[in-house]
Amino acid sequence: MMNWFDQIPVEKISEWRQHLHQHPELSFKEFKTSQYIYDTLSTFPNLELTRPTPTSVVATLVGSAGDGKTIALRADMDALPIQEETNVDFKSVNDGVMHACGHDTHVAMLLGAASVLSGMKDKLAGTVKFIFQHAEEQVPGGAQELVDAGVLKDVDQIFGIHIIPRLKTGSLGIVKTGYTTTAADGFFLKIQGKGSHASTPELSIDPIVVGSHMVMALQSIVSRNVPASEMAILSIGEFHSGQAPNIIADTATLSCSIRTTNEEIRNLMEKRVREIIDYVAAAYGATVELDYVRGYSAVYSTPELAEFAYQSATKVLGEDLVYESPMLMASEDFSAYTKVVPGCFMLLGAGLEEEGCGYMNHHPKFRVMEEALVNGTKVEVQLILDLLGQE
């Protein structure tokens, strides 16, 4: 039965999105954003609103058709420290801050779903939690704070959607095999050597030589320590030292990005990085300052829920728009939720390059086709109806 399609507030979804896009706020500072969400939710019937943290909002809808599971739907709300370079009419008015990852669209879609479902209380057997989460972009992340605040204590399953450009407008990708994203770790390293003139290298502890040996050894970790069946990437992105060709510098700095999925492999990567850096430094008489940064864990989509979401989405979008997606080589703090309860994280197509959506998330020219948003709302509503709905 699709008559609820007519209840989707399409124009309002666009209005909410454009307001949020024009007034972005950074992680842990989403005071006006969260208040706007709270005030909007207050106009919907049958919702109980709470503020688990100063800049998050949770709306709870208890169905009256009987007892059932508690299902959570999540949207994040924070923006990025990026100067917007698009030409949209609703361009950011906050200098140096932009919704360059699409969190404004996530909020608008979920507000749309809350608007529809809040009027269907008598058709639901169970409870829906609409989680509007702060601070996805800044480690340790808002998701972990909400878990710590007990928001998932009564939740049986959780679902989330992330918008991605360069994919067909309104298409929905679902990873069925488990990990939807990777863990994102890395390090910043300072090598302290001893400088000299290039004509007397025997008097130096050359940090470039030390760092070069470290780079080569670090690059062997994946090939010599990680089973071929596991995913791991280590990439040195920066290596800086010296200011002149005839001077050996005192110091060198390196930075590195590390991607994994399996937690055991993740821990192994850190262990081997630390060992190699320490051993190479000791061999050359250098000292090091290592800042190893643990980011978000990999998001794990429970295969059974992924298949369920795939079938549910197909009902409202059709077979042509729903597809099995490869793993996204990015990270997301939705992983904090899927460590606690079964969940599924889905990818919504924001539009193709020829439609003006050729720049990926976190780019100052990031754009989406707003026509995609109604499909996100449709999927969120259909999931709840399939899980909790009563005729």
CATH number at residue 154: 3.40.630.10
Which of 273, 98, 92 lies closest to 188 in space, CA to CA? 273
Question: Same domain for 80 and 193?
Answer: no
On whether the CB atoms of residues 185 and 258 are closer than 8 A, the answer is yes
What three-state secondary structure class fits 335?
Answer: helix
Question: Is 292 annotated in the active site?
Answer: no
Cα separation of 378 and 116, whole Å?
10
Residues across the chain: 391
Residue ending a domain, among 294, 322, 355, is: 294
Q: In this structure, are 175 and 45 located in the same domain?
A: yes
Give me the number of domains the chain comprises.
2
Domain boundary pick from 245, 276, 294: 294
39 contacts: CB under 8 Å, gap ≥ 6: none
- The catalytic residue among 296, 300, 310, 337 is 296
pLDDT of residue 268: 98
- Residue 122 burial by Cβ neighbours in a 10 Å radius (0-12, 13-18, 19+): exposed
Among 137, 145, 370, 380, which one carries the catalytic annotation? Answer: 370
pLDDT in tens, 222-243: 999 999 999 999 999 999 999 9
Q: Is 296 a catalytic residue?
A: yes
The per-residue pLDDT for 3 is 87
Q: Rounded to two decimals, what is the model's pTM?
A: 0.95
Residues 315, 374: one domain?
yes
Contacts of 30 (CB under 8 A, 6+ apart): 55, 77, 78, 134, 135
Is residue 368 located within the same domain as residue 340?
A: yes
Q: How far is CA 216 from CA 213, 234, 266, 273, 277, in A?
A: 5, 11, 20, 12, 11
Please give the backbone phi and psi of residue 14, each rounded to the nearest 5 degrees, phi first.
-65, -40
Question: Do residues 154 and 282 share a domain?
Answer: no
Contact 305, 108 (CB under 8 A): no
Which domain-ending residue is among 294, 317, 337? 294
Residues 169 and 48 in one domain: yes
Same-domain pairing of 126 and 9:
yes
387: enclosing H helix or E strand: helix 373-388
Burial 278-303, CB ≥16 within 10 A → b, else e: eebbeebebebeeebebbbbbbbbbe
Q: Tell whether 97 and 176 lie within a shared domain.
A: yes
16 and 162 share one domain? yes
- CA trace torsion 107, 377, 46, 341 (10° rounding): -80
- Domain span at residue 30? 3-180+298-388
Q: 91 and 35, same structural domain?
A: yes
The CATH number for 271's domain is: 3.30.70.360
Low-confidence ranges of the chain (pLDDT < 50): 1
